[in-house]
Every structure is written in structure tokens, then in C-alpha cells.
Amino acid sequence: MKRQNLDLAVIGNCRVAGLLDCNARIVWWCFPRLDSNPVFSRLLAGDEEKGFCDILLDDLVDAQTSYVHNTAIVETTLTDARGGAIRITDFMPRFGRFERTFRPAMIVRRIEPISGLPRVTIRIRPTFDYGRKASEIALGSNHIRYIGSDQVVRVTTDAPLSYIAQEAPFALLRPVALMMGPDEPILSAIPTTAREFQDRTRDYWLAWVRGLAVPYEWQLAVIRAAITLKLCSFEETGGIVAALTTSIPEAPGTSRNWDYRYCWLRDSYFVVNALNRLGTTQTMEAYIDYITTVVAERDRPVAPVHSIVPGSPLEESTAPDLKGFLGHGPVRVGNQAAEQIQHDAYGSVVLGASQMFIDERLPKKGDEPMLQRLEELGKRAVRFALTPDAGLWEYRGRQRIHTYSVVLCWAACNRLWLIASRLGEKDRAARWREHAERLKAEILSRGWNEKRGAFVGAFDHTDLDASVLLIAELGLVPPQDEKFIRTVDTIGRELTRNGRIMRYIAEDDFGVPDTAFLVCGFWYIDALAAIGRVSEAKDMFVDILNHTNVFGILSEDLHPQAGELWGNFPQTYSMAGIINSATRLSLKWEEAWSHA
């Protein structure tokens, strides 16, 4: 497999998450929650050696790293020129404790000698306020406190503190552990506590994966995608971030770099839908609680993106003390998209919540009060569906009546019709059906362009847009519809670059896009399968899987020519695409042995 710019593993516990490279250097960790200041910010530090934690082995000649099977625990083996070797185990604790989930804002590193007489150097260089070095370092009896302007990170360890403070090499003759997190003492033995946390965290993930209803084919890819998606959820509120990073550009040399550490309502719907296909409902239940909070204020428009703690400001600014990924700045904090008008938000919320009304696994089912709340969104969908917005690609310099936005407004009305019917509310069902049929007629008329032979990206315009590939999956038209088949053919012919599907190729606010948006490839794969071109869909799916990084993870974008991953990481859209396409394309379990 080709090495990627983003050969990074994800560790986390649904409160915090971190990224580490193939040499076990932790290069990203937002603390104390997923969208906080990164105390490990090396990923975006350019050529500056700050914002990381690593373990250097003298005379290193080899590094091997991988996940512990079916977990979010990473093991790295470093070997020196004399045959000495160490094992580094990284994870964030997550397991049941005192009848609740224990998920501290903590990274645990265990470092063990496994052969020879290895000499190591432990380096810990946190940053604060988006790239500023610690203003003070204070040593205790078994800990080091790294102090920023208004934040403290405490490292509790049984390794020699003086060696760590001076970044001096020492012989590793016994296992040691680092427990990095809040400025709170560890009231138990460090080595046994770290080992217990590792064992219990491993057991948690093994049990969670055991409950997944995975497809027969591509099981490892689906399991890794499922774990990664779960690590992008903030369990305390139910919010799901679009990615764990900010400002990894969509392509080299572009200013298309954004902060994705927030909850986009449309992205979250795809995540919930993917996890539901695997039979896990906890993330969906928490997300429904989250969106119920988001839409509580009925008199305000629903923003397309929110903090994982609803109500927190998302004003966009830049971080001058970070040079950017591989030097590609600026580094952004916050996202201006929170101020945009994107009408698909109404449908995204209704689609996400509609599962409550049909899923018998849920302890709390959808009811008439929930329907009332969703109807408030439906009213806004009806009111604004045929008015211009920024669209799902969040154009900053123009507004149009985007076909996808109208389709999602239709989806809101369609689901409200079905929900009202299910609850026996005949008059309300008839009203929502009427709204849905009216919007459907508008889409079929104004969204279709006979000259292009396709549904187009915006009413009364001719630009193609891959988002219209979803109209059959959402139920607007059946896959066998002639116009949908022609649309799939046209998009495959005109939006493909070296086998990759672009989201669009027309010039936007920043010029012509350079990279393929990976989720569009999955949408195209699903559309191919829906219209009967399954073999072609499978070939394309396997090709995308061949471009995951060494840990089986995808970012947002793929360069059509270089085959490199770009964009924020890990991208939930992309990981959800792995699950959705695999479950659609895989052989059934009962067919497995007949094809062996």
C-alpha cells in the first residue's frame, strides 16, 4: 500500500480523541473535549517541533504499528540496530465503571522493553492557545504539570521525571507508563492502573464490535469504519463531529482548509444511518437527544452546523502560531458555515429523528409531541425550499436554489407524511403529502435539464453536481427511473477524473476543485448498484478501499492523479460511505460458502 500524507491512527473514547503517526508520535489531541484547543498540535505546526509526545529509540531501524484487533488501541514496535526493541501501546480509557461509562480526558501510553537493552528518550511538548508553548513546567513527585495561559496538562508517570524534563536518553529496563490528562492526581499505582485501563478498554471494544451486524465481505474495513465513527461522537451531548481536525487543506497549495470539529446536521445523519445498518443504536439515540436540543428554539433558523455543546459560538478566526499542515496555512478556528443559510438542514433533522417512529429496538419511541416539534421544521422547509441558499457545499460567494436542498425539504415533508400516517393523524398526513407532492413536481421539472441529460446542481442552471445521486436513495424517484439512470450515466462520464468522482467541476469561490470528494465516490457506487451495475460498483469500491491509509482510515478528499489523501481527518462522511456501500454490495452471509 502506498504511504499517505495522512498515515495516522485515531485513538479516543467519545470525549477526547488523538492522532498518532507510524512512529507512535502523538501529533494531535484536543483537550479537554473534541473541539478544544489542541495541546498536541504538531499536525499543524509546519516545520516547528512543538505540540507532540513521542518516544525516540536510539539507532532506530524499524517501526511497525497497527491497531489491536477490533479495538481503538494502537501498538507500535520500534527496533534498534542492535536488536533491542520496545513496544508502545496508546489508548484512551473507555469502559464501564460504577454503573456508568468511564471516559476521562486522558491518554495512556505504556512503554515496554521487549528485547535487548534499548535506550529511549521521552519527549513531551504540549502547546496552548493554538500553538503557543507552555509558559511553565512544574515537576512533582510523580508528575509534571505543563501550564498554559489558562490551562494545565498533567502527566503522571513512573518513568524518571528528570529524564523526561530534560529530554535525556535512558536505558529502558522495565515497563513504564504515562497518563496524560487533567490536573488531577492518580490515586493508585501507575503501572497496574495503566495495565488495568488497557485491559478493560480492550474488553469494551471487543464486546462492542461483537454486537455489530457486519456484512460478510470487507468485514475489517467496516469494523474499522464503525469504530472510527464512534470515536467522532461526543457522547456527553450526542453531537457528532464531521472530523477530528481543522485546516488540513482539500488539496496542496489551496486555501480550502476549514475547521471540521463541529456537528453538521447532514453529515451526522449519514453517520447515524451507517451505524444503524450495523445494528448499533446508542449513537443514534444520543444524537436524537442532541438534535432535540438544537431545534428547541422554534423562532430561529436552524443553522447547518453546531458546536458539540449546542449554543457555543463558532465565529471563524485564524491561529497565527500554527503554520498549517505541511506548511499550508492558514489554520482556522470556528466555521463561518454556521452563519449560512442551508435549507437541507430541515430534512437532515427530520430524517435523523424519523427512525424513532419505526425502530422497535428503541426504549423511547417517537410520539405526537415529537411529531409536533418536527412539524415546525417541516413548515420552514415548505417556506424556504424554493428560495436560494448556500447549498451543501457551502458556497461563500453565491446563492442558488440548489437541487439537493429542495430534495431534503421534500424529504422532510415526505417523512412527516409517513410519520403522521403511522400515528393515525390522517388530516396532518394529507397536508404533508400535499406539500411533498408539490415539491417533488418542482424538482422533476426545474431540477431536470434535458440538454445535460441529468438532474443538475441548481434549478435553472446547467452545472452538474454529484449530490443529486442521492435522490433515488432518499426515495424521490425509484432507481429504475429513466431520468435517474441518465443522471448516473452523465455524472459518471463528466465528473470522473482518473476514476474519481468530483463533487462538481465548475469554478467556485476558490477556483476549480483539484481533488475528489470521497463521499461522492461512495454515492456513485451506491447509485451504480441501485441501477444494476453491481460489478462495476464493486470494482470502484475496492479501488477506494485500496486508498485508505495504513490503518484503514480515510480523510475527506483523494487527489485523482497522485492518489494522496487530503482534507480533514478522519472524515465521517467517508467512513460512513465505507459502511453503507459495503452493506449494499456484500454477499449475504447465507451465500458465503457457495462462493468460497
Query: Which residue is it, cell 537493552?
Result: 117
Could you tell me if 99 and 248 lie in one domain?
A: no
Query: Which residue is it, cell 441529468?
Result: 454
Could you tell me if 242 and 166 lie in one domain?
A: no
Per the structure, the count of domains in the chain is 2
Pairing of strands 119-125, 52-57: antiparallel
> What tens digit of pLDDT does each residue of 53-94 get?
999 999 999 999 999 999 999 999 999 999 999 999 999 999
- Residue 199 confidence (pLDDT) above 60: yes
CA 378 → CA 320, 337, 350, 409, 422, distances in Å? 42, 22, 8, 8, 17
213 located within any domain: no
Could you tell me if 252 and 159 lie in one domain?
A: no
Could you tell me if 227 and 294 lie in one domain?
A: yes
171 located within any domain: yes
Banded model confidence at residue 280, pLDDT cuts 50, 70, 90:
confident
408 located within any domain: yes
> What tens digit of pLDDT does each residue of 38-51 get?
999 999 999 999 99
- Residue 167 confidence (pLDDT) above 90: yes
AA identity, residue 590: E
- Residue 595 confidence (pLDDT) above 80: no
Q: What is the pLDDT of residue 583?
A: 96
307 and 263 Cβ atoms separated by less than 8 Å: yes
201 and 106 Cβ atoms separated by less than 8 Å: no
Greater confidence (264 vs 282) lies with 264
Residues with Cβ < 8 Å from 58, sequence gap 6 or more?
80, 118, 119, 120, 121, 169
CATH number at residue 470: 1.50.10.10
> What are φ and ψ of residue 448, in 5° steps?
-90, 135
Its pTM stands at 0.96
Q: Among 172, 188, 204, identify where a domain stops.
A: 188
> What tens digit of pLDDT does each residue of 92-104 get?
999 998 889 999 9
The helix-helix angle for 344-354 and 403-422 (nearest 10°) equals 30
Q: Name the percent of the chain lying above pLDDT 70.
A: 98
82 and 157 Cβ atoms separated by less than 8 Å: no
520 and 512 Cβ atoms separated by less than 8 Å: no
Could you tell me if 566 and 431 lie in one domain?
A: yes
215 located within any domain: no
Could you tell me if 451 and 585 lie in one domain?
A: yes
> What tens digit of pLDDT does each residue of 417-437 get?
999 999 999 999 999 999 999
575 and 250 Cβ atoms separated by less than 8 Å: no
User: Which segments within 140-243 are labelled E, that is strand?
Assistant: 143-147, 152-157, 170-171, 176-181, 233-234, 239-240
325 located within any domain: yes
261 located within any domain: yes
Could you tell me if 420 and 308 lie in one domain?
A: yes
CA 32 → CA 89, 105, 123, 227, 595, distances in Å? 21, 6, 21, 21, 49
Could you tell me if 172 and 309 lie in one domain?
A: no
Could you tell me if 349 and 437 lie in one domain?
A: yes
228 and 578 Cβ atoms separated by less than 8 Å: no
Q: Among 167, 188, 209, identify where a domain stops.
A: 188
- Residue 2 confidence (pLDDT) above 80: no
Q: Among 173, 188, 203, identify where a domain stops.
A: 188
* H or E element that contains 109: strand 107-115
Q: What is the pLDDT of residue 205?
A: 98
- Domain limits at 514? 221-590
- Residue 220 confidence (pLDDT) above 70: yes
354 located within any domain: yes
Q: Which region holds residue 164: left if phi is over 0, alpha if psi is between -120 and 50, else beta? A: alpha
Could you tell me if 497 and 580 lie in one domain?
A: yes
Mean per-residue pLDDT for 258-271?
93
> What tens digit of pLDDT does each residue of 501-552 get?
999 999 888 888 999 999 999 999 999 999 999 999 999 999 999 999 999 9
Could you tell me if 169 and 253 lie in one domain?
A: no
198 located within any domain: no
Mean per-residue pLDDT for 323-346?
94
Give counts: helices (H), strands (E), the chain. 13, 32
Task: Count the Cβ atoms, other than its own, within 10 Å of residue 190.
Answer: 19
The three cell numbers of residue 78 are 520500534
Could you tell me if 173 and 230 lie in one domain?
A: no
